[in-house]
Amino acid sequence: MLSLILVLLLIGKFLGIAFLGIGLWAWNEKGVLSNISSITDLGGFDPVWLFLVVGGVMFILGFAGCIGALRENTFLLKFFSVFLGIIFFLELTAGVLAFVFKDWIKDQLYFFINNNIRAYRDDIDLQNLIDFTQEYWQCCGAFGADDWNLNIYFNCTDSNASRERCGVPFSCCTKDPAEDVINTQCGYDARQKPEVDQQIVIYTKGCVPQFEKWLQDNLTIVAGIFIGIALLQIFGICLAQNLVSDIEAVRASW
């Protein structure tokens, strides 16, 4: 059992290194590493943070657990146990708060999506993330296509000289199975059409209600995944504490 845990910790550590490497490579490609102050310039969310945070956590846990078990280092094992316990507590707290304050979470999600709509053209990674989200959930904007008025390239104001004026990104367009090539201009002038015609060309439902619908439809799967992760974390904490007790008991008998 211990050997299996060590293998899993090693895999986690190397996955963490891989995630960190991908994140740093992405930042290097965007010139962030040569100008650290540009980290705060992006108005929206930078998806690279996901790789860096997840990779950092996986590496720290994998390193502390693996080295602590191999070297019988009680400090690293206790650190592993406490760190994993903090993550578990934060996840549990977030789950309870999300259940109790549903409306507040919905408002924050609405604000988050709209904030990223404003920054859609500012970062290619953010743009790809928004396009993937809208294509996957077949949605457009936070609560509807008109949310794209928040973006300087897509708003319908008379002062907007962009060709994308009063349009939406191609990821909002309904897909034709017969088309092999993506038409990136399919959203041009889409919101100038009557609402009935818009429904033929683009998705008119917002991503927030579509996410809620997806969550309700897949509630069992999502709950199962979270319970599985929680059980693994509890198992890891118990195993680390048990190993610490065994090491201290052996040392006390010397």
247 has a pLDDT exceeding 90:
no
Q: What is d(CA 15, CA 7) in angstroms, rounded to the nearest whole number?
A: 12
4 has a pLDDT exceeding 80:
no
Q: How does residue 191 score in pLDDT terms, banded at 50, 70 and 90?
A: very high
44 has a pLDDT exceeding 70:
no
3 has a pLDDT exceeding 70:
no
Tens of pLDDT, residues 124-161:
888 999 999 999 999 999 999 999 999 999 999 888 88
Give the percent of the chain with pLDDT over 70: 93
45 has a pLDDT exceeding 90:
no
Single pTM value for the model? 0.80
Q: Which domains does the chain carry? A: 102-253 (1.10.1450.10)
**Higher per-residue confidence, 8 vs 115:** 115
176 secondary structure, DSSP code = -
Instruction: Report which listed range, 24-33, 43-52, 54-63, 95-104, is most confident.
Output: 54-63
Residue 202: strand, helix, or coil: strand
Q: How does residue 37 score in pLDDT terms, banded at 50, 70 and 90?
A: low
Mean pLDDT over 24-31 rounds to: 80
Q: What is d(CA 216, CA 165) in angstroms, rounded to the nearest whole number?
A: 35
Q: How far apart are the first and last CA of the chain?
A: 26
Q: What is the pLDDT of residue 40?
A: 63
172 secondary structure, DSSP code = G
Tens of pLDDT, residues 193-231:
888 889 889 999 999 899 989 988 998 998 899 899 899
Give the percent of the chain with pLDDT over 90: 35
Q: What is d(CA 207, CA 199) in angstroms, rounded to the nearest whole number?
A: 15
Q: What is the pLDDT of residue 39?
A: 65
| Residue 16 exposed, middle or buried by CB count within 10 Å (0-12, 13-18, 19+) | buried
| Residue 251 exposed, middle or buried by CB count within 10 Å (0-12, 13-18, 19+) | exposed
